[in-house]
Each structure stands twice: as structure tokens, then as C-alpha cells.
């Protein structure tokens, strides 16, 4: 049974907070966000690529700003899209993989953590904030953050239309419905031309399977991948149609348009007709934390605000889009949502030099052959740690953007400092870690992940020639999944207990209903506690997760959770701000069907406050285990 707060509380309070900052009518800029699917950094002419034809996006770049060092929050689709929609890191959301996730297999040295099965409704999205500030909101295309009750219509979009990933290439819809998506967006824009609107176009292109019009494919017969080239051209045409519509409606000057991709291009053999593209000189591609997997195209255009032809080389992340868009819409992120993992990008002038570190946490095995890893970039140095064996690679991106020369042995002090910073960040954000797989097949693991390292794939002259070298590898990677009974990541059927539903036994602690809080706060007395009544529909073992925030100087409280005669103790992590929420997995409990009561009681309080608590999640553990892969 899934328990949720009445969402109207969030809507009403968000409106109250946002109202003083609203600027009505034409003073609010329109905002259009276009996200391609698996578009690589080299796939557009404006980034120096000469394999494809992208005149409309190239002009887009000339009329606005091109970001040369933009990074996805994750090298995989759902996690990256969740970060864009919330401004929060996938590791903070515990939504670090694509949905529903790749099965665990005996080829893995580690078991993957159980993640969220969808973007939770209690997370406040960009669309919700803009809608509550007076924007008409619409989403067209690919959501990939949860179906039915977790679809875009439940996450702040007034209008939401999901399009299938494939169209008949002979139709006017385009090869992957990119023209149909754009036509729907253009209709919405015309209907709301006199009001402020936020329009999110999430394309399926150029994700596999690769399909395109035959006449377009023929134009690229001498290129790396003719079908992929045709798909890029069709995607480019769809962007051109949208920009032309803005011109026709005289909306260009008051519309911020953003174009990007959810992750890097697919560089390996994954399905018939692939690999799709090459990310050279960058290493690897989709699914990897090397540059080819996380470096993405990013273009912004807003005439009169963003200088035409400007170029930005400072490293940034797509999580920066949310605070940037909110500021453009005259909203203060700190007031309407609280701390975000992204940082506002100045639009009217070049951003100042930024000494922040960028982090990635990806505890998963992928269809592209990557293994669990984490990474940090600080200035021009980048460190990648493999979670299987804690091995380190260190690269100087200023001279080695291809990440071929591992300098870890030459810079032990730098390695130590960066690794310590990475580990501290993982702890502070509540990152989930994989666990040992005691039954893994050593030989199978070696043949798939070590003997042929797909991050080292060097493309041949064509996609077909490249694929020939990797057919046996792909066959093995697919075979370990065939017929195996393994738990999907994530599981379903979780029980969610929210702060608003708690029964309070307190003197000071109370429910704070503001949408940027939505917590049990003012927990200044260790004698204050809370409990919840709930019903278990399915007996079994449940993983217990709490979502908490803790301001500076208030960390270290020991708290006990009691349920069904069992207790779990955990230590509250200082997160830097009480609304800087993280999710902590604190253990497992056995539950029987029927009514239950769960209580949370502090045992110690070394600082001014215990914590702020937003929710408790009890997530059913998988009962099936992988069959033998030997």
C-alpha cells in the first residue's frame, strides 16, 4: 500500500510562497526545454562534428550561448531526467539508474542497491513551481519517470501527452515522433501565446532502435552510421520548426529556449544496427562516467538577454538548469524549494570562474558494459573510482580529454584529497552503495567486464565495422540475463509514511507544511517523538529508509525506529541545512500483513536539534535470486 500526502497542501502553500515574487503577464519569459535522448557531444555541427547535418541547431548556437563543458547528472536516462526536473542529484533522490533497471546477474561482483521506482510525488518539480507561479505548463514526448499515478500530469504539467518511441518513418510524424512532438508543442504555444508558458519537449530521438526515412538515410551512406545521421537531421528539422513558430508568433524575444541531451551518445553494440555514434576524442559513451558518457551538448537562446555567439567553457551540470530557469521566471529558489544541488547560471553575462567540484555516483551495471563507479571533477582534474575494487583513475582533462593516461600513481596526494572529498560528498548526500555478491561467477565477470573493456572501444570507420569486433561480447552480456530469475531494481509495493500523517507526542516538535519543508521540525527535545499507523498488504522483509535533513552543528543524534517488535538505531548525518534532505537506509525489518504502528524516538541529541524528518519508506526486499550463470 502506498501512502501519500494530500497534494493540495503543497499546491496551496507553494502558491502562498511564490505569490509575492510573481510578475504577471508579458514580464514573465516563456521557457522551452528540449531534451534529446542519447545525443552525443559530437553529433552537432556547432560542436565541431562533421558527420551529421544540423543547420537549425547550429544557428541556434550562433544566436545564443554554447556550453562546451556541460555535464549530465548521470550517464543514463531516467536518473538524468529526474535531476533536470528537480535540481537534485540522482544520488540524493535514490533514483540513480534507468527505470526499471537492469537485472542483477551472476556476472556481477556486486549487487545493485534498490532504488526509487519512479520520481516520488513528494519531490517538487520545476513544472510545479512554474505552474504555481502563473505559468501554463505542458510536456510532450518521453517522460520515463514513472507511469500512471506518477506521470507528468501528476508532476505539475497542465497538459501532458506521451508519444510512443517510434513512428512510421514514412509519416509526417518523423522517425521517432519528433515532428509529432514538435507539432503538439507548437499548438500549445499558439494557444498560450498571450500568457507565460513552460513547454518541455522530451524527444525519443536518437535513442535505439534506429529508424529514419529511406531518402534521408541515403544522404549519409558514406558516414559512420547512415540511419543515425538521418535521425539527427530529422531532430534538427523539428527544432527548426519550433523556432520558426516562435518567430511567426513574435515570441522569440521573450522566450528562453534550452536544448540539451540526457546523456552521452551510445558508442557500443547494443542492438541490431548499433553502435549509433562515436564520441571520440572522448572516452566511452552512454552508461559510463568517462567524458563520452556524461558530457552533453547544451545550447541556450534568449535574444536581448543572452549575448549571441557567446561560448562558455566553465564546467557545469544539467542540475544547474532548475535554479537558472527559476531565476529567469523571477522566483527565488531558496524561498520556493530550498537547497538545490545545482547552481544558477548567469544568462546576461559570462559566468565567473567556478571552483566547485562536480560529482557523480553510479552504483550500477549497465547494458553498455559499465560497472559501478563514482567520479569527481575539480578544476581540470577528474578522478574515477571503481566500486568493485576501489581502483582509481586520475586524469588531467586539460591535456588528456580522452582519459587515456592514468596519473594516479604520479599524484598520490591529489588522489587522496579528491577521493576523500568524493567519499565525504557521497556520505553527505545519502548515496546508496552496492553490496557484495557472494555467488558471482569470477570467470563470467572477467570475460564480460575485464577481458573486453567497452570503455576502451575504439571505433572503426563505420558502425558496421565497429560492431563486428564486439558481437561475441554483446552475446555474452545478453545471455547472462536470459531466463534468469532476478529482482528488478527497483521493487514495487513500498509503504510511504509522510510527516503530515504523523501522530505527534511532543512539546516543541511540529509539522511544518511549507512545500520547501514538509517536515517534522523544531525537534529540539529528545523527549519528543512521533508514530504512524499503516497497513501491510504483503508480508515479508522490508528495507527501511528515512528522509532527513540536519543543519550545521546538529548532526550525530542517535534515533531509534520501532515497528512490529523490532528496532533499528541510526545516527543522523549533518547535511548542512535542515531542508537539505537526504535518504538514509537504516536497516531491514520483517512485517506481517495487517495493521502496524511505526514509531521514531530520539535516544541522544548532542546538538541544538535532532533533525527534520520528511518521510519513512518501507520497501519490500526481493525474494528471488539469480539462477546459475555458469
What's the grid cell of residue 153? Answer: 500530469
Residues for the chain: how many in total? 630
Task: Measure the CA–CA gap between 284 and 270, rounded to whole angstroms.
Answer: 13
Task: Measure the CA–CA gap between 348 and 397, rounded to whole angstroms.
Answer: 28
Is residue 321 a contact partner of residue 78, using CB atoms and an 8 Å limit?
A: no
Which entry of 56, 144, 192, 361 is annotated as an active-site residue? Answer: 144
Is residue 328 a contact partner of residue 346, using CB atoms and an 8 Å limit?
A: no
pLDDT beyond 80 at 485: no
Which entry of 52, 56, 77, 94 is annotated as an active-site residue? Answer: 77
What's the grid cell of residue 3? Answer: 501512502
Q: Which of 5-19, 27-41, 231-245, 349-363 has the lowest mean pLDDT?
A: 5-19
Which residue, chain included where needed, has cell 524528518? 613
Interval 75-79 mean pLDDT: 97
Exposed, middle or buried: residue 424 (CB in 10 Å: 0-12, 13-18, 19+)? exposed
**What backbone phi and psi angles, to 5 degrees, belong to 627?**
-75, 170
At 13, the pLDDT band (50, 70, 90 cuts) reads very low
CA distances from 572 to 462, 585, 609, 611, 615 (A): 53, 11, 11, 7, 14
At 311, the pLDDT band (50, 70, 90 cuts) reads very high
Q: Which residue did the predictor score with more confidence, 8 or 500?
A: 500
For 362-464, CATH gives: 3.30.1120.10
Listed in sequence order, the DSSP H helices in 297-411 are: 321-328, 333-336
Q: Which architecture characterizes domain 34-99+115-346 according to CATH?
A: 3-Layer(aba) Sandwich (3.40)
Concerning whether 144 is annotated as a catalytic residue, the answer is: yes
Proportion of the chain above pLDDT 90, given as a percent: 82
* 125 Cβ contact list (under 8 Å, min separation 6): 85, 86, 119, 155, 156
Give the pLDDT of residue 627.
Answer: 31
Q: Which of 290-304, 305-319, 392-406, 459-473 has the lowest mean pLDDT?
A: 459-473
pLDDT in tens, 500-538: 999 999 999 999 998 788 999 999 999 999 999 999 999
Concerning whether 52 is annotated as a catalytic residue, the answer is: no
CATH number for the 495-620 domain, one of 2.60.120.260, 3.40.30.10, 3.40.50.2000, 2.40.10.10? 2.60.120.260
Give the pLDDT of residue 171.
Answer: 67
Which residue, chain included where needed, has cell 544496427? 273
Task: Measure the CA–CA gap between 239 and 261, rounded to whole angstroms.
Answer: 13
Give the pLDDT of residue 17.
Answer: 37
**What backbone phi and psi angles, to 5 degrees, belong to 451?**
-65, -35
Q: Which residue did the predictor score with more confidence, 11 or 496?
A: 496
At 486, the pLDDT band (50, 70, 90 cuts) reads low
pLDDT beyond 90 at 24: no
Task: Give the residue from 608, 384, 624 showing the smallest Cα distance to 484.
Answer: 624
pTM comes to: 0.92
Residue spans of the domains in the chain: they are 34-99+115-346, 362-464, 495-620
Strands (E) in 391-512, as ranges, are 392-396, 435-436, 495-498, 503-505, 510-512
Amino acid at each position: 500500500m502506498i501512502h501519500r500526502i494530500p497534494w493540495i497542501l503543497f499546491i496551496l502553500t507553494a502558491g502562498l510562497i511564490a505569490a509575492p515574487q510573481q510578475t504577471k503577464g508579458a514580464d514573465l519569459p516563456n521557457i522551452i526545454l528540449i531534451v534529446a535522448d542519447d545525443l552525443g557531444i559530437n553529433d552537432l555541427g556547432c560542436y565541431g562534428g562533421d558527420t551529421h547535418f544540423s543547420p537549425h541547431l547550429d544557428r541556434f548556437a550562433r544566436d545564443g550561448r554554447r556550453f562546451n563543458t556541460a555535464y549530465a547528472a548521470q550517464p543514463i536516462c531516467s536518473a538524468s531526467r529526474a535531476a533536470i526536473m528537480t535540481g537534485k542529484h540522482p544520488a540524493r533522490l535514490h533514483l540513480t539508474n534507468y527505470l526499471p533497471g537492469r537485472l542483477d546477474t551472476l556476472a556481477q561482483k556486486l549487487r545493485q542497491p534498490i532504488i526509487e521506482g519512479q520520481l516520488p510525488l513528494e519531490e517538487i518539480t520545476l513544472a510545479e513551481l512554474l505552474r504555481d507561479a502563473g505559468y501554463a505548463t505542458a510536456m510532450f514526448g518521453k517522460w520515463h519517470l514513472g507511469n500512471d499515478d506518477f506521470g507528468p500530469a501528476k508532476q505539475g504539467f497542465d497538459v501532458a501527452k506521451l508519444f510512443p518511441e517510434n513512428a512510421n518513418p514514412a509519416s509526417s510524424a518523423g522517425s521517432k515522433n519528433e515532428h509529432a512532438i514538435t507539432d503538439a508543442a507548437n499548438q500549445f504555444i499558439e494557444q498560450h501565446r498571450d500568457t507565460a508558458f513552460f513547454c518541455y519537449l522530451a524527444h525519443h530521438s536518437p535513442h535505439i532502435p534506429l529508424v529514419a526515412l529511406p531518402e534521408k538515410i541515403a544522404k549519409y551512406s558514406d558516414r559512420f552510421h547512415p540511419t543515425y545521421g538521418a535521425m539527427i537531421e530529422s531532430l534538427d528539422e523539428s527544432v527548426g520548426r519550433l523556432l520558426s513558430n516562435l518567430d511567426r508568433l513574435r515570441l522569440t524575444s521573450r522566450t528562453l529556449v534550452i536544448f540539451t541531451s540526457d546523456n552521452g551518445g551510445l558508442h557500443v553494440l547494443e542492438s541490431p544496427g548499433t553502435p549509433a555514434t562515436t564520441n571520440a576524442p572522448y572516452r566511452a559513451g552512454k552508461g559510463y562516467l568517462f567524458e563520452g558518457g556524461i558530457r552533453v551538448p547544451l545550447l541556450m537562446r534568449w535574444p536581448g538577454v543572452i549575448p549571441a555567439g557567446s561560448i562558455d567553457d566553465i564546467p557545469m551540470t544539467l542540475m544547474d538548469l532548475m535554479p537558472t530557469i527559476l531565476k529567469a521566471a523571477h522566483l527565488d529558489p531558496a524561498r520556493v524549494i530550498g537547497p538545490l544541488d545545482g547552481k544558477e547560471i548567469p544568462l546576461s553575462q559570462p559566468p565567473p570562474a567556478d571552483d566547485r567540484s562536480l560529482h557523480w555516483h553510479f552504483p550500477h551495471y549497465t547494458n553498455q558494459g559499465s560497472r559501478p563507479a563514482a567520479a569527481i571533477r575539480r578544476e581540470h582534474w577528474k578522478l574515477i573510482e571503481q566500486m568493485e575494487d576501489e581502483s582509481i583513475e586520475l586524469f588531467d582533462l586539460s591535456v588528456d580529454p580522452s582519459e587515456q593516461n592514468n596519473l594516479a600513481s604520479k599524484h598520490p596526494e591529489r588522489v587522496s584529497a579528491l577521493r576523500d572529498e568524493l567519499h565525504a560528498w557521497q556520505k553527505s548526500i545519502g548515496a546508496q552503495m552496492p553490496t557484495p555478491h557472494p555467488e558471482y561467477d569470477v570467470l563470467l565477470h572477467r570475460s564480460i567486464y575485464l577481458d573486453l573493456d567497452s570503455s576502451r572501444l575504439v571505433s572503426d570507420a563505420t558502425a558496421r565495422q565497429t560492431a563486428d569486433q564486439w558481437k561475441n561480447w554483446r552475446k555474452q552480456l545478453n545471455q547472462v540475463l536470459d531466463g534468469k530469475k532476478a529482482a528488478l531494481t527497483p521493487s514495487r509495493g513500498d509503504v510511504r509514511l509522510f510527516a503530515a500523517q504523523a501522530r505527534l507526542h511532543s512539546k516543541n516538535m511540529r509539522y511544518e507544511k511549507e512545500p520547501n519543508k514538509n517536515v517534522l521540525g523544531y525537534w529540539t527535545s529528545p523527549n519528543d517523538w512521533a508514530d504512524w499507523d499503516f497497513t501491510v498488504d504483503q508480508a515479508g522483509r522490508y528495507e527501511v529508509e528515512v528522509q532527513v535533513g540536519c543543519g550545521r552543528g546538529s548532526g550525530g543524534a542517535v534515533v531509534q525506529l520501532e515497528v512490529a517488535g523490532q528496532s533499528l538505531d541510526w545516527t543522523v548525518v549533518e547535511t548542512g541545512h535542515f531542508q537539505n534532505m537526504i535518504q538514509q537506509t537504516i536497516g531491514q525489518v520483517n512485517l506481517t500483513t495487517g495493521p502496524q504502528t511505526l514509531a521514531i524516538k530520539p535516544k541522544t541529541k548532542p546538538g541544538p536539534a535532532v533533525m527534520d524528518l520528511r518521510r519513512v519508506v518501507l520497501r519490500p526486499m526481493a525474494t528471488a535470486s539469480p539462477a546459475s550463470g555458469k
